[in-house]
């Protein structure tokens, strides 16, 4: 008997109660994290345990994921690099540099709107947009 992993079901579970932002900011990830940490008083840190490996054109690419867990809350923030050496974590969003996933607790519209407006105030940021689940073709690439 063979067991088959249901990726659609897994993606649905993973993305339950999440909000995802796409960000265009052509700067290094550590610089962007520093800006976010400073602006929001967060503590994004790279987490090698949730780095995303993808094989493309016979080569393995690793996409860094930065993580911040809010104290006294189940809300966790993940900042993904969308690009690595000409390859993309989400190829359907090649114009995006970063993806910010908020997961583990409900993030209301007002809070999300405030986060978006604050990110837009960072000099290097050119665009911030919410990505809805329906728009993402390669959801499985974000699951760790």
CATH of the domain at 61: 3.30.310
What confidence category does residue 32 fall into, taking pLDDT thresholds of 50, 70 and 90? very high
**CA terminus-to-terminus distance, the chain:** 26
- 78 phi and psi, to 5 degrees? -125, 130
Arithmetic mean of pLDDT, 52-76:
92
Q: What is the pLDDT of residues 78-114, one digit of tens each?
A: 999 999 999 999 999 999 999 999 999 999 999 999 9
What angle is formed at CA 40 by the lines to CA 38 and CA 41, rounded to 5 degrees? 65
Residue-level pLDDT at 8:
62
Find how far residue 9's CA is from the centre of its chain: 20
Do the domain assignments include residue 51?
A: yes
In whole angstroms, how far apart are CA 114 and each of 9, 20, 27, 76, 120?
31, 14, 22, 17, 10
- Mean pLDDT lowest among 19-28, 39-48, 134-143: 134-143
What's the half-sphere exposure (Cβ side, CA atoms, 13 Å) at 18?
Answer: 22
63 within some domain: yes
Number of independent structural domains in the chain: 1
Structure token digits, residue 81:
């690099």
Average pLDDT over residues 53-65: 90
Supply the range of the domain harboring residue 97.
Answer: 17-138
pTM of the shown model: 0.87
- Min mean pLDDT across 11-15, 80-84, 115-119 is at 11-15
């Amino acid at each position: 008997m063979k067991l088959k992993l249901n990726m659609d079901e897994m993606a649905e579970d993973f993305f339950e109660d999440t909000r995802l932002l796409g960000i265009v900011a052509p700067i290094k990830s550590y610089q962007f994290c520093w800006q976010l940490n400073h602006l929001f008083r967060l503590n994004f840190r790279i987490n090698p345990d949730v780095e995303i490996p993808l094989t493309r054109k016979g080569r393995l690419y690793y996409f860094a994921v930065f993580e911040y867990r809010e104290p006294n809350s189940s809300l966790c923030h993940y900042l993904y690099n969308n690009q690595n050496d000409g390859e993309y974590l989400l190829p359907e969003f090649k114009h995006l540099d970063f993806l910010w996933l908020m997961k583990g607790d409900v993030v209301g519209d007002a809070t999300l709107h405030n986060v978006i407006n604050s990110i837009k105030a960072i000099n290097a940021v050119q665009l911030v947009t919410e990505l809805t689940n329906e728009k993402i073709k390669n959801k499985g690439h974000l699951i760790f």
